[in-house]
Structure 1
Amino acid sequence: MRKLHAALLFCLLPSSASFPESSTERVVATAVPLDPSAPERRRFGRLRYVGGWHLTSRQRNFGGYSALHGDGRDFLTIADTGQYLRFTMERGQLVRTRFGNLPGFPGPTGNKRDRDAESMAIGPEGDVWVGYEYRNAVIRYSADLSTVLSTGWPPAMANWARNSGAEAMVRLDGGRFVIFAEGKMIAPGVKAALMFPGDPSQSRNRPYQFGYRPPKGYVPSDAALLPDGRIIVLNRRFGLLDGFSAALTIVDPAKIVPGATVPGEMLGAFAPPLNIDNMEGITATLEGGRTMLWLISDDNQVPIERTLLLKFELD
């Protein structure tokens, strides 16, 4: 991911790090309105704001969350530090929190470039696929995140930029995978994306390339599968003067064919002074027949950013 402003101000992480053992340190959720100037405002394009929380914790390596998956109650979020957080959402609070470390990375040293996890997908048996930048790799883990099951370095991703690679990944019904590049462009305003016929950590599953056209000035930062089988894409933009913005689009998998350019159908966009940050993770859930979208931000583990968890209803 591109951390333009943070790179100007901070050295984010050392070249290597040691990780604490799994812990159950508390995470505090403080409710926030999306529009501080009009807290009663709920409608944003085709989205209705349900609620949001600023998350904080004394856990030493809390933050940096780049991918999210959940069912509306139980959630898993992966950080670009190689760690993860499991939690249950009850009445606006995070309970049964559990921090842990991924059991293996795509590089040998364990430094930042070996563990920069950016995207995630979950299979029907609970297996977890994680996409990595720098190494341009995909690792499949067991459902309990205790074991590496397979690791792949897809040749089609080999020339993706090291710091803006497999930023978004989604598993479609039937077992196909789509991976979106953050940085690799194949035409003006068009990002590279790959359709895998199966598990991208297996070399036998060779993908074909297509193009994704995000909203102007945005890049894809995560994706999830909607209940109707379409793909919801979280897009991010950063400007030195106006900070972070986010936009949500829908992609129809039926339009994805080799060489095609698929535009995102805009649902809504969010920019300051709204309560928005470096939004990098998204998951879709069903509640009473209604589709809910949950977004989480990557605070880069720097004090000028926040970890936000936002919930919207898709109209």
Structure 2
Amino acid sequence: MRAAVGALLLAALAACAPIAELPSAPVPYGPAIAIRGAPVPMEPADPTRERLGNFTYAGGLHITSDQTSRLHGLSDLKVWPDGRFLAQGDQSDVVEGRLVLDVRGRLAGVTDAHMHALKDADGLELYAKGQKEFDAEGVAELPNGDRLVSFEQHDRILLYPRDGSIPRQAAMPTVRFKNNDAMEALATDPATGPDAYRVGVEETGEVYACRLSASCVLAGKVALDSGAGLVAMERMPGGRWAYLLRSYSAVRGNVVRLRITDSDGTVVDEVELAKPLTVDNLEGLGVVAGPGRRVRFYLVSDDNFGMYNGLPTDQRTLLLAFDWSPP
């Protein structure tokens, strides 16, 4: 019985889906922070290994900061060709900065980082309103600079205008979501229109096409393996889409799949990240077109603030890069 209870406790500690508990005391928010990045190999037992099928490891970092206690819980990521990035924390923190590449073009660090807290329409920080209100999961930036953020528990999508004016509700799928298994994936869809975006549902894999000027309609469904959820997606060059699927089991731990499909949903390629590779609760996905037909993917993990049910875990905030060459 003791062995069985111990196994269940270990599984609970490592589980990645629940939202971290609120810290017991206020924590500082700073406009600028220094982020340290400790290099991590793709496979700790073989640091020279860099290939996974058509994917090449392009560097990875375990990121931390001594200047804030809020650099945790990163649930989504967007990256631009000039290195600018935007990361959304699941306690409504926003991290912005630039990625640093070495002479080989591999991920080497983070610089010019800034951090702020999302506010509600009443001007109050969402964090102060409690877990049901601040549970942000997806982020997207429209061509005009306005941003969209999707939330779970209190399911909604808020539009944050570029000019800093108060946020307002944006169109969302009119379906009933399972608590804490809802709108994890969010991405703009500029090929459809400047106000177009897509929303992916974690539990079902359903993808909805939305516009600020119209309602959301079901556009397709991503096939999910048993126990997996759709946690991120992003449009790729040529009309393709990239999807991040995540699952957890006590036997294998975190298992993350990066899937590439054509516009009609046909799977083009897929890669699995699981032990003994470097992996954690990867939830955010950024896509950058490279030279030729190469595409770079950036993945970020949500460490749940290193806590689960009030007990510490060994989760980390990882930022990993992979280059993909079409087969």
TM over 0.5: yes
Matched, 1:143 2:162: yes
In the alignment, which of 33, 38, 52 is matched to residue 44 of structure 1? 52
Matched, 1:74 2:74: no
2:105 — aligned with what?
none
Determine helix, strand or coil for the equivalent of 2:187.
Answer: strand
Bigger shift: 68-77 or 274-283? 68-77
Distance 1:109 1:305, change over 3 A: closer
Identity of aligned residues (%): 24
In the alignment, which of 288, 292, 302 is matched to residue 298 of structure 1? 302
Distance 1:149 1:193, change over 3 A: same
Aligned residues between the structures: 293
Structure 2, unpaired ranges of 5+: 1-10, 102-107, 307-312
If the length of structure 2 is used for normalisation, what is the TM-score? 0.81
Structure 1, unpaired ranges of 5+: 186-190, 256-261
2:242 — aligned with what?
232
Matched, 1:267 2:270: yes
Q: What is the CA distance between 1:79 and its match in structure 2? A: 0.3
Structure 2 distance, partners of 1:263, 1:38, is 33
Q: Which amino acid in 2 is paired with 1:70?
A: V
Bigger shift: 14-23 or 50-59? 14-23
Cα deviation 1:232-285 (Å, max 9, x = unaligned): 0011111123211111112333x2xxxxxx565442111011110000000101
1:259 — aligned with what?
none
Structure 2 distance, partners of 1:104, 1:285, is 31
In the alignment, which of 116, 120, 130 is matched to residue 135 of structure 2? 116
Cα deviation 1:29-52 (Å, max 9, x = unaligned): 011101111111111122111110
2:232 — aligned with what?
222
Structure 2 distance, partners of 1:15, 1:98, is 21
1:94 — aligned with what?
110
Following superposition of structure 1 onto structure 2, how do residues 25-64 of structure 1 map, counting pairs within 5 Å? Answer: 25-58=33-66, 59-64=68-73
Structure 2 distance, partners of 1:294, 1:7, is 23
Determine helix, strand or coil for the equivalent of 1:245.
Answer: strand
Q: Hey, which bits of structure 1, 4+ residues long, moved more than 6 A?
A: 7-11, 105-109
If the length of structure 1 is used for normalisation, what is the TM-score? 0.84
Give me the CA root mean square deviation.
Answer: 2.7
Q: Which amino acid in 2 is paired with 1:130?
A: V
Structure 1 distance, partners of 2:198, 2:130, is 27
In the alignment, which of 276, 280, 286 is matched to residue 277 of structure 1? 280
Q: Which amino acid in 2 is paired with 1:311?
A: A
Q: What is the CA distance between 1:171 and its match in structure 2? A: 1.6
1:258 — aligned with what?
none
Q: What is the CA distance between 1:8 and its match in structure 2? A: 7.3
Structure 1 distance, partners of 2:27, 2:165, is 17
Matched, 1:5 2:5: no
1:188 — aligned with what?
none
